[in-house]
Amino acid sequence: MTMGLFEGSQLLAHWRVSTALERTADELGFLVSGLLRQRGLEEHSIDGVSISSVVPSVMYAVEQMSVTYLKQAPLIVGPGIRTGLGIKYDNPKEAGSDRIANAVAAIEAYGAPVVIVDFGTAMTFTVVNEHRQYVGGVIAPGIKISADALFRRASKLPHIDLQRPPSVIGRNTVTSMQSGLVYGFAGQVDGIIRRIQAELGRSVRVIATGGLADVVSPHSETIEQVDPFLTLNGLRIIWERNRGAR
């Protein structure tokens, strides 16, 4: 779970906490209250809350926390929310709210067309055409999912830190695994991006975001820039666009 604290368009603070499915609204409230107090703020000083979630089981607790502790009915990114983004998915309701937030922020910051690669639990590619329309993308297993599957299925392989090895050719088990994950995903990104560009018939800007973007992006030939706060900025922009309508 990633949280950001904005004043206007300025990101004052950001935090990453584990997504614990059993965590209650009160537990989340105590957590968020403590984080705000670290910044010298009280709960009542928050003017609004914007949420994007692809984990439905935690949404009730997050919504209740927002209402009870922050005194704000949260804006939940989903159907019916003003985004300024045209959605050309076969079923627009299936478009992930995190991908919508990424697309909105990328258009604002980098223009269109653009492709956003999000290195999250799943690795997603979000494609926005020159008309600022979300036309679809790609969903693939994320790096951590792939690494965890490798550890579970091959019992003799150790758990490793996800970092760049000293060379592509690993000299031991750990660096061999690191090479497979880092360079393997960099190659996957480049291969998919080139196919997307061929399908669109043009080159596009490629922006990376997500927790492991910094690990893979330096070894990709197609990623132009890493924007670690793209999703948070997208949530801020969407909240601003809906502020007067709520």
Read off the pLDDT of residues 97-126 as tens digits, 9 standing for 90 and up.
999 999 999 999 999 999 999 998 899 999
Domains of the chain plus CATH, in order, are 2-76 (3.30.420.40), 86-236 (3.30.420.40)
Give me the residues paired with residue 24 across strands.
Answer: none
**Burial (0-12, 13-18, 19+ Cβ within 10 Å), 231:** buried
Read off the pLDDT of residues 65-100 as tens digits, 9 standing for 90 and up.
999 999 999 999 988 899 999 999 888 888 889 999
Mean pLDDT, residues 217-239 taken together: 96
Q: Give yes or no for residue 246 having a pLDDT over 60.
A: no
Q: 195 among the known binding-site residues?
A: no
Q: 97 among the known binding-site residues?
A: yes
Residue 245 has a pLDDT of 61
Mean pLDDT, residues 212-219 taken together: 93
Mean pLDDT, residues 177-184 taken together: 91
Q: List the one residue out of 57, 68, 87 whose CA is nearest residue 26.
A: 68
Q: Where are the beta strands (DSSP E) in 65-119?
A: 75-76, 86-87, 114-119
* Candidate list 26, 98, 161, 227, residue with the active-site label: 98
Q: Give yes or no for residue 229 having a pLDDT over 60.
A: yes
Cα Rg of the chain (Å, integer):
19
* pTM for the predicted model, two decimal places: 0.88
| DSSP string of 201-227, one letter each residue | TS--EEEEESTTHHHHGGG-SS--EE-
Phi then psi for residue 158, to 5 deg, are -80, 160
Read off the pLDDT of residues 34-53 as tens digits, 9 standing for 90 and up.
999 998 998 889 999 999 98
Q: 99 among the known binding-site residues?
A: yes
Other CB atoms within a 10 A radius of the CB of residue 214 amount to 12
Other CB atoms within a 10 A radius of the CB of residue 103 amount to 30
Is 98 among the residues known to form the active site?
Answer: yes
| DSSP string of 55-77, one letter each residue | -GGGHHHHHHHHHHHS--PPEE-
